A and B are shown apart, each in its own frame.
Chain A
C-alpha cells in the first residue's frame, strides 16, 4: 500500500477533481466531488503519517524524475520530519474549509471549490517539493487561487485587500527567484537536499539570506511587513481565512527551516539577533494592536502575527527547544487559528457582523459554541494542557537560553495574549445580552460541529500528548541543528547576541 506515489497522488488528485468539476454542471456534484477528493487526500495523509519513520532524518516517500533534463530540473518530492506535519495540516484543513463554505458561499460555488482544490495542490506541493524550482512554482502558485478567493468572494474592500496581499507577496517572490537563480548558478543544482550540502561563500550567504528573507518574512508575516494580513483576513471568506492562517502563514516558517537555516548557516547566525529582535517587536507590538481592535477577524489576524513571532523567535535561537517549539507552534497555530476563524464564521453567518460590540451574552443561547470557543481561546492563550502551550513554552525556553532579555520581552506576550483573547471572549460570549438578534442565534449545527469538535479534541490531545508531533520531527530537527552548528561561529560579527545567558 505504501509503495504508491503517495505524495504525487496528494498533490495531483485535487487537480483531477478540478477537471471533474469542470465536466459537471451541478453545484451538488461539485460539492460531492470536492469534498470526496479532499477527504481522500486527507486519508492519504493519514496513511503517510502511519508509514512515516520517526527514526530517520532522511526524506521519505521520495519520488524523483527528470523533468527538464537540459537544465537538470527534476520533479523531486519527499517529506521529512520538518515538512510532514504541514502536509497533514494542509490536507486536514482543506475539507473543513469546503464544509464551512457550503453554507456560506452561494454565488459561483463551483469556481470557489475549484480555487480551493488548486490551492490544495499548491500547498501540499510547496511542503513536499524537494527541487527548488518546483518549490518556487508551488510557493508562488498559492498566490493565485488565494488572490481570487479574497478578491471575488471577499467582503466590501476585497479588491483593496487582494491587491495589498498580492503586492506584498510579489515583492518577496521576485527577490526569492533571484536568490534561487544565483544559488543554481553557484551550486549547479536545483535539488534541495544537494543544495543543503553545498558550502556557499559566507559573504554571498548574507545576500541570499536577505533575498529569501524578503519572501518568507512577508509570508509569516513578520513585523513590519505584516499589514497585508489583517486586511486579507477581514475581507476573505471564512474558508479563505482558515487556509490563510492555518497553512499559508506556515510557508514562511517552513521556508526558513528548509532553505535559510541549512543553506545559509553563517548568514543565519549573523542575522539571528535581528530576527530575534523583529520577533519580539512582533509579539509585543501586534499583541497591543490586537487589544484595541473591535473587528473579530482583525483581532485574530493580529494575534496570528504575534504567535508567528514566537515561531521566528524559536527558529533563530538555534536550540533544540526553540526549533521544536517553533514547529510545534506552527502546527498548533494552524489548528487553533483555523478553528478561531471558523468560530468567527459561525456567528458571522448568522449576524453578518464582525464587530465585537454587536455580540455579547451569547453563552445563553449558544452553550456548545461557547464551550468550543473557550477551548480555542485557551489554546490561543497558551494554557498548559492545550497545544498552544507546548510551542510557546519551548520557543521561550529556547529564547531564554539564547538571551534572557529576549526571553523576558517575548514572555510578556504571555500576559498580553491573555489580555486580548479574554477581552474578545468576554465581549462576544459573556456579558449581558444586549442585542436581541445575537440572543436569537441558534447554536452550532451538525456541519459546524463536524468541523469544530475534531479541532477542539486535537487542541487538547496535542496539549496532553505533544510527543505525537515531537517524536516524528525530532530526528530532522537534530539534523538541522547539526547543519547550522557545522558553520563556523561568527559571534565576532554578531555583537548583540554576546549577551547570552551562560553559566560561568
Chain B
C-alpha cells in the first residue's frame, strides 16, 4: 500500500521541501530534490501501470476519512484501475520531463526553487485527481490543479498581464467548478453517495428517474452528466468556458506544456471517461458532449490559423484536440478519447517545449513575425518540432495518426446525427490543424530572418538538460501510437480496460474497425492538403495570406479576434458585475439602508453622540463605572420586568 501511495505523495514532499526550505538549501538542491522525487514517482507509476493495467491487479485503498456528515461520507482514497494508472503514467512522465527541462529553461530566474515547488504541487494535485475514488476527492484535485495553474500562470507576478491571466483562469474555472459541485450534490441526492463504486452500481436503476431541478422535471442521469460536463468544459477549455486558456500562455513555457497541454486540461476528458458508466446511460448527454466537442475542435482551429504568437497557436491547437477527445467520448469511444489524450500529451508537450526552446534561443521572443530563418541554427529543435507537428497532423506511423483516426472512425461508425456532424467537423479541423502546424513551422524556422541582428547572433541550441526531455517526448510522439494501439482501442481492449471504462453494446470502437475504406483515408488526405497549403501560402507564394486576409476581411477579423468572445463576456458578465457591485454599495447600502436606517436615526440623536464623545475622558474609572452601571441597570430593568409580568 505504501508503494501505491508514493507516486501521489512524493510530489507533495518535493513541493514542501522546495517551498519551505528553498532559502536554506538553495536553488540547486531544490531542483535536485523535486526532479529526483518526480523521477521516482514516474518509475513507480510505470511499475503500477504494468501491475494494474497489464497484469490486472486492480485495487483501491482507503487512506483516511475526510468529511463525514451523516450520510455524506467521503474519504481520502486511492483507486488504482487502468484508467487511473494510465493517467498517472502520463502525468508523472510529462511532469518529470517538464521538471528537468525547467532546470535549464528557468536558470536565469531568481525564484527557481519556487517554480520547481509549484510544478510539484501541481503534480500532486493532479495525482489526487486521477486516483480519487469519489467525486469530492476528485474535486479536491480539480481545484488543486486550478490553484497550481493560477500560481504558475501568474508566476511572473510583477506583470499585470500575468496576474490578469491567472485571475481569469481561476475564475472562469470556478464557473465550471460550480457546475461540477452541483453535479456532485445531485449525485449525493440521487445515489446517497459520492463514491464512484456506489454511483456506478446504482446508476442503471436510475435511468427512468426524474429529478426536479430549477422547477423542471429532468431525467436524473442526464442532469448529473450535464452538470459534471459543465465542470469538464471549464477545466478542458471547451467552447463557452475556453477564454482562459489562450491567456494562460502568460505563464512560463514549461507550465504551458505540463498544465495547459498535457495534463490539467485533459482532466475534463478524464472525468467524462471516469464517469462513463453514467454517461453511457444518457444518450442526450452523450450528444451534447459530442456537439460541444466537435464545435470546439473547429472553432479553435479557425482561430489557430490566424494567430501570430507561437504559444497561442499551440494553445488553440490544444483546445481543438481536446474537442476531438470530447466528441470521441460523446459517441462512446472512451478508449479512443483516452488514447488521444495519451498521444496528445506527448506530442503537444513536445511542441510546447520545442517552442520554449525556440523562445529561449530567440531571447524570449514569441511573435512568429519576428522569427524565421533559424532552422539551420537549431537543427535538433527543428527536427523535434517536425516530429511533433507530424504527430499532431496525424501523418501515418506517428502517434497522433493512430489516435485521431480512431476518433474520426468512431464518430463515423456511431451512425448518429451527432456522430456524423462530429466526423465532418473533425475532418475539416484536421485540415486546418495541418495547415496551421506548417504555417507555424515555416514562419518560425524558414524564410528570411526577421529578428534583429543582435538576436540572430545569439540563436543557439538549448543546453542538454532541456534537450533530453525533448528527446524523451519525441520518442513518445513517435512510438506511443503504434505501441499502445492494441491495448487502448485494438484487440486487447477488454483485457486492458477491464471495468475501468464502461460502454453499452454494441461497442462503437468495434464498429469503428469496420468502416468504409475511404473513412480512414480521408483524414490523411486532408492533412496532406493542409500541409501543402501551408507550404504554398508561407513558403512558395507568400503573398497569399495577405490577399486572403484582405479579401475575406470580416471573416479573418472574426477569427483573428477570437470570435469576440472575450469582448462579449466582458460586456455580459464582467462589467455588469462591477456595476451591480457599485450600485448595491452606493444606492443599496449607503443611500437606502443607511439613509433610512441608522443614519436617519442617528441624525436625530446627534446631541447624544456629542455627549458620548465628551464622555471619552480617558479615565479608567469612568469606563469601569459605565460598564458596572450598565450591567446594574440592565439587571434592575430585568427584575422589574419579570416582576411585572408575573
Please report A residues at the B interface, Cβ cutoff 8 Å. Answer: 22, 68, 71, 108, 110-111, 114-115, 118, 133, 136-137, 140-141, 144-145, 148, 151-152, 159-160, 163-164, 167-168, 177, 181-182, 184-185, 224-225, 227-228, 230, 285, 288-293, 319-321, 324-325, 361, 363-364, 378, 383-385, 390, 393-394, 396-397, 400-401, 404-405, 407-408, 411-412, 414-416, 418-419, 422-423, 426, 429-433, 464-467, 470-471, 474, 478, 499-504
Q: Check A159 against B69 for contact (C-beta < 8 Å).
A: no
Which residues of chain B (156-192) have a CB below 8 Å from chain A?
Answer: 157-160, 163, 167, 170-171, 174-175, 177-178, 181-182, 184-186, 188-190
Q: Check B69 against A394 for contact (C-beta < 8 Å).
A: yes
Q: Check A227 against B178 for contact (C-beta < 8 Å).
A: no
Q: Which residue of A lies closest to B76 (CB)?
A: A464
Known: A164-B598, A184-B642. A400 touches B178 (CB 8 A): no
Kindly state whether residue B638 has any CB partner on chain A within 8 Å. yes
Q: Check B69 against A384 for contact (C-beta < 8 Å).
A: no
Cα–Cα distance between A321 and B67 once the two chains are bound (Å):
10
Kindly state whether residue B582 has any CB partner on chain A within 8 Å. yes
Known: A289-B585, A501-B212. A159 touches B140 (CB 8 A): no
Kindly state whether residue B540 has any CB partner on chain A within 8 Å. no
Q: Which residues of B contact A167 (CB under 8 A)?
A: 598, 601-602
Known: A108-B618, A159-B613, A500-B212. A324 touches B158 (CB 8 A): no
Can you identify 29 A-B contacts, CB atoms within 8 angstroms? A133-B638, A136-B638, A137-B631, A137-B634, A140-B634, A144-B631, A159-B609, A159-B613, A181-B642, A184-B642, A289-B584, A292-B578, A319-B70, A320-B71, A321-B69, A324-B69, A384-B139, A394-B69, A394-B72, A400-B186, A401-B185, A418-B170, A422-B167, A423-B167, A426-B167, A430-B157, A431-B158, A431-B160, A466-B67
Q: Which of B302-310, B314-322, B504-512, B620-628 contacts A (4 or more CB under 8 A)?
A: B620-628
Q: Check A291 against B209 for contact (C-beta < 8 Å).
A: no
Q: Check B160 against A464 for contact (C-beta < 8 Å).
A: no
Cα–Cα distance between A396 and B67 once the two chains are bound (Å):
14
Cα–Cα distance between A501 and B613 once the two chains are bound (Å):
54
Q: Which residues of A contact B645 (CB under 8 A)?
A: 181-182, 184-185
Q: In whole Å, how far is B62's beta carbon from the nearest beta carbon of chain A?
A: 14
Q: Check A419 against B171 for contact (C-beta < 8 Å).
A: yes
Known: A137-B634, A390-B67, A414-B178. A227 touches B154 (CB 8 A): no
Kindly state whether residue B57 has any CB partner on chain A within 8 Å. no
Q: Which residues of B contact A227 (CB under 8 A)?
A: 589, 593-594, 597-598
Q: Check B182 against A407 for contact (C-beta < 8 Å).
A: yes
Q: Check B163 against A405 for contact (C-beta < 8 Å).
A: no
Our pick among B182, B212, B581, B594 for the contact of A292 (Cβ within 8 Å) is B581
- List of 4 A-B pairs having minimum Cβ-Cβ separation, nearest first: A320-B70, A288-B581, A400-B185, A384-B140
Q: Check B171 against A431 for contact (C-beta < 8 Å).
A: no
Which residues of chain B (14-71) have a CB below 8 Å from chain A?
Answer: 64-71
Q: Mark B208-234, 1 if CB is under 8 A from A, else 0.
A: 011111110100100000000000000
Q: Which residues of A contact B189 (CB under 8 A)?
A: 400-401, 501, 503
Q: Which residue of A lies closest to B646 (CB)?
A: A185
Q: Check B171 against A501 for contact (C-beta < 8 Å).
A: no
Q: In whole Å, how far is A257's beta carbon from the nearest beta carbon of chain B?
A: 15
Q: Check A411 against B190 for contact (C-beta < 8 Å).
A: no
Kindly state whether residue B616 has any CB partner on chain A within 8 Å. yes
Q: Which residue of A lies closest to B642 (CB)?
A: A71
Cα–Cα distance between A114 and B620 once the two chains are bound (Å):
9
Known: A400-B186, A405-B215. A418 touches B588 (CB 8 A): no
Cα–Cα distance between A30 and B79 once the two chains are bound (Å):
57
Kindly state whether residue B641 has any CB partner on chain A within 8 Å. yes
Kindly state whether residue B380 has any CB partner on chain A within 8 Å. no
Cα–Cα distance between A157 and B167 once the two chains are bound (Å):
34
Kindly state whether residue B144 has any CB partner on chain A within 8 Å. yes
Q: Check A418 against B144 for contact (C-beta < 8 Å).
A: no
Cα–Cα distance between A341 and B638 once the two chains are bound (Å):
36
Our pick among A118, A225, A414, A426 for the contact of B163 (Cβ within 8 Å) is A426
Cα–Cα distance between A159 and B612 once the two chains are bound (Å):
8
Cα–Cα distance between A325 and B188 once the two chains are bound (Å):
15
Our pick among B68, B144, B182, B186 for the contact of A384 (Cβ within 8 Å) is B144
Cα–Cα distance between A118 and B631 once the two chains are bound (Å):
12
Question: For chain A, what secondary structure do more than half of its interface residues adopt (helix, strand, loop), or is it mixed?
Answer: helix
Kindly state whether residue B147 has any CB partner on chain A within 8 Å. yes
Cα–Cα distance between A73 and B184 once the two chains are bound (Å):
49
User: How many inter-chain contacts with C-beta < 8 Å in the A-B complex?
Assistant: 216
Q: Check B588 against A285 for contact (C-beta < 8 Å).
A: yes
Known: A184-B642, A400-B186. A503 touches B154 (CB 8 A): no
Kindly state whether residue B143 has any CB partner on chain A within 8 Å. yes
Q: Which residues of B contact A363 (CB under 8 A)?
A: 157
Q: Which residues of B contact A478 (CB under 8 A)?
A: 70
Q: Which residues of B contact A393 (CB under 8 A)?
A: 67, 136, 181
Known: A167-B598, A325-B69. A111 touches B620 (CB 8 A): yes
Q: In whole Å, how far is B209's beta carbon from the nearest beta carbon of chain A?
A: 6
Kindly state whether residue B630 has any CB partner on chain A within 8 Å. yes
Q: Which residues of A contact B210 (CB under 8 A)?
A: 504
Q: In whole Å, how far is B156's beta carbon from the nearest beta carbon of chain A?
A: 10
Q: Which residues of B contact A499 (CB under 8 A)?
A: 212, 215
Q: Which residues of B contact A110 (CB under 8 A)?
A: 620
Cα–Cα distance between A365 and B102 once the two chains are bound (Å):
25
Known: A159-B612, A394-B69, A426-B167. A144 touches B626 (CB 8 A): yes
Q: In whole Å, how far is B183's beta carbon from the nearest beta carbon of chain A?
A: 10
Q: In whole Å, how far is A421's beta carbon from the nearest beta carbon of chain B?
A: 10
Q: Which residue of A lies closest to B594 (CB)?
A: A227
Known: A159-B609, A408-B214. A292 touches B602 (CB 8 A): no
Q: Check A384 against B143 for contact (C-beta < 8 Å).
A: yes
Q: Which residues of A contact B635 (CB under 8 A)?
A: 137
Q: Check B602 against A163 for contact (C-beta < 8 Å).
A: yes
Q: Which residues of B contact A114 (CB under 8 A)?
A: 620, 623-624
Q: Which residue of B lies closest to A481 (CB)?
A: B70
Kindly state whether residue B580 has any CB partner on chain A within 8 Å. yes
Q: In whole Å, how far is A168's beta carbon from the nearest beta carbon of chain B?
A: 6
Q: Which residue of A lies closest to B220 (CB)?
A: A503
Cα–Cα distance between A400 and B213 once the two chains are bound (Å):
9
Known: A118-B627, A167-B601. A177 touches B641 (CB 8 A): yes
Which residues of chain B (69-100) have a CB below 8 Å from chain A?
Answer: 69-72
Kindly state whether residue B499 has any CB partner on chain A within 8 Å. no
Kindly state whether residue B542 has any CB partner on chain A within 8 Å. no
Q: Which residues of B contact A289 (CB under 8 A)?
A: 581, 584-585, 588-589
Kindly state whether residue B416 has any CB partner on chain A within 8 Å. no
Q: Which residues of B contact A111 (CB under 8 A)?
A: 620, 623
Q: Which residues of A contact B70 (CB under 8 A)?
A: 319-321, 324, 478
Q: In whole Å, how far is B312's beta carbon from the nearest beta carbon of chain A?
A: 23
Known: A464-B66, A466-B67. A501 touches B213 (CB 8 A): yes
Cα–Cα distance between A466 and B594 once the two chains are bound (Å):
39
Known: A167-B598, A412-B178. A288 touches B186 (CB 8 A): no
Kindly state whether residue B561 has any CB partner on chain A within 8 Å. no
Q: In whole Å, how far is A398's beta carbon from the nearest beta carbon of chain B?
A: 9
Cα–Cα distance between A227 and B598 once the two chains are bound (Å):
9
Known: A185-B645, A292-B582. A408 touches B143 (CB 8 A): no
Kindly state whether residue B577 has any CB partner on chain A within 8 Å. yes
Cα–Cα distance between A384 and B137 once the two chains are bound (Å):
9
Q: Mark B254-279, 1 if CB is under 8 A from A, else 0.
A: 00000000000000000000000000
Known: A140-B634, A289-B589, A394-B69. A430 touches B154 (CB 8 A): yes
Q: Check B178 against A411 for contact (C-beta < 8 Å).
A: yes
Cα–Cα distance between A458 and B403 once the two chains are bound (Å):
47
Q: Check B66 against A466 for contact (C-beta < 8 Å).
A: yes
Further pairs besides A320-B69, A500-B212: 15, Cβ < 8 Å? A108-B618, A163-B612, A181-B641, A181-B645, A320-B72, A384-B139, A384-B143, A390-B67, A394-B72, A397-B184, A405-B215, A426-B167, A430-B154, A474-B69, A504-B211
Cα–Cα distance between A464 and B12 once the two chains are bound (Å):
14
Q: In whole Å, how far is A270's beta carbon from the nearest beta carbon of chain B?
A: 22
